[in-house]
C-alpha cells in the first residue's frame, strides 16, 4: 500500500542555519503548520537528498509533492498565503541580493578563511580581516539606512529585515566584542530588537535530528 502523503508541508531545517531561520520565521508569522524535520548536516537523511538534489536546508515539501528549496522562495510562498504583518511590502530584491551575494561572500571568508586556501595566499588571518572589512562596509550602509527608519523598509519589520537579520547575527557573533564596539548604533539597535523578539525565540527550540520513522513534529504558531 502506498504511504499517504503527510497532511502538512514537510520542512527540512537546521536550527542554526541562517537560511533555515528566515524560512521558519516566515512560516511562523504566516501561521503555516509544518512537519519539522531537524537535519544533522553530517548525516543528511536520504529523504532530504531525494527531495532536493542540492541537499541543503531549508527544503519545503508540499503535500502535493511540490518542492521549494530556496529560503526566499519559501518565505514568499508562505507570505503569499498569509501576510498578517504586511511583510511583502518590504520584499526589497536589491537589498536581499546584496545580503545573499556580496555580504554572504564576505561573511563566509571572514568566519572560515581556512576553507579558501586558493584565495588566501597562505595568510588566513589577513584574508579574514580583509573580508571582515568588506562586510563592515556593507553594514555601514545598512546602519545609515536604519538611521532613517526603525526597520529596513519602514517602521515595521518586513521580509527584508527577517531575510537579513540571521546573517547580521552570524557576522556579529563571530567577534561580539569587536562588533559591539563599532559605531553602528542603528544597526546594533535593530539587531538587538530582532534577537529579543518573541518571533525569534519561537523558532529556535532545540530538537533531536529527525530520522525516518520518527513521530511527526509539528511547528505551528
Which of the 8 DSSP states describes residue 10?
E
Q: What three-state secondary structure class fits 14?
A: coil
Tens of pLDDT, residue by residue over 134-177, are 999 999 999 999 999 999 999 999 999 999 999 999 999 999 99
Q: Tell me, yes or no, whether 193 lies in a domain.
A: yes
Q: Tell me, yes or no, whether 3 lies in a domain.
A: no
Confidence band (pLDDT; 50, 70, 90) for 1? very low
Domain count, the chain: 2
93 and 143 co-located in one domain: yes
For residue 58, whether the previous peptide bond is cis, meaning omega lies within 30 degrees of 0, is yes
* DSSP sequence for 152-197: TTBSS--HHHHHHHHHHHHHHHHTHHHHHTSS-HHHHHHHHHHHT-
**What's the CA gap between 42 and 220, in Å, rounded?**
27
Tens of pLDDT, residue by residue over 50-108, are 999 999 999 999 999 999 999 999 999 999 999 999 999 999 999 999 999 999 999 99
Question: 34 near 217, Cβ under 8 Å?
Answer: no
The residue-averaged pLDDT of 208-220 equals 91
| Residue 37 dihedral angles phi and psi, to the nearest 5° | -120, 100
Tens of pLDDT, residue by residue over 118-129, are 999 889 999 999
pLDDT score recorded for residue 6: 60
The residue range of the domain holding 181 is 87-197
What's the grid cell of residue 187? 544597526
Amino acid at each position: 500500500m502506498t504511504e499517504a502523503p503527510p497532511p502538512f508541508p514537510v520542512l527540512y531545517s537546521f536550527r542554526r542555519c541562517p537560511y533555515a531561520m528566515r524560512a521558519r520565521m516566515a512560516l511562523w508569522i504566516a501561521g503555516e503548520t509544518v512537519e519539522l524535520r531537524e537535519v544533522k548536516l553530517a548525516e543528511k537523511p536520504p529523504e532530504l537528498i531525494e527531495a532536493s538534489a542540492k541537499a541543503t536546508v531549508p527544503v519545503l515539501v508540499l503535500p502535493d509533492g511540490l518542492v521549494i528549496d530556496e529560503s526566499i522562495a519559501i518565505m514568499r510562498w508562505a507570505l503569499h498565503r498569509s501576510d498578517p504583518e504586511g511583510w511583502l511590502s518590504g520584499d526589497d530584491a536589491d537589498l536581499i541580493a546584496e545580503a545573499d551575494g556580496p555580504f554572504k561572500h564576505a561573511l563566509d571568508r571572514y568566519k572560515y578563511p581556512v576553507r579558501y586556501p586558493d584565495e588566501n595566499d597562505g595568510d588566513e588571518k589577513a584574508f579574514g580581516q580583509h573580508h571582515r572589512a568588506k562586510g563592515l562596509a556593507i553594514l555601514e550602509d545598512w546602519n545609515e539606512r536604519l538611521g532613517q527608519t526603525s526597520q529596513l523598509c519602514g517602521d515595521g519589520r518586513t521580509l527584508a529585515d527577517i531575510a537579513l537579520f540571521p546573517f547580521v547575527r552570524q557576522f556579529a557573533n563571530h567577534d561580539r566584542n569587536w562588533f559591539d564596539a563599532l559605531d553602528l548604533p542603528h544597526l546594533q539597535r535593530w539587531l538587538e530588537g530582532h534577537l529579543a523578539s518573541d518571533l525569534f525565540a519561537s523558532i529556535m527550540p532545540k530538537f533531536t535530528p529527525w530520522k525516518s520513522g520518527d513521530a511527526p513534529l509539528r511547528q505551528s504558531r
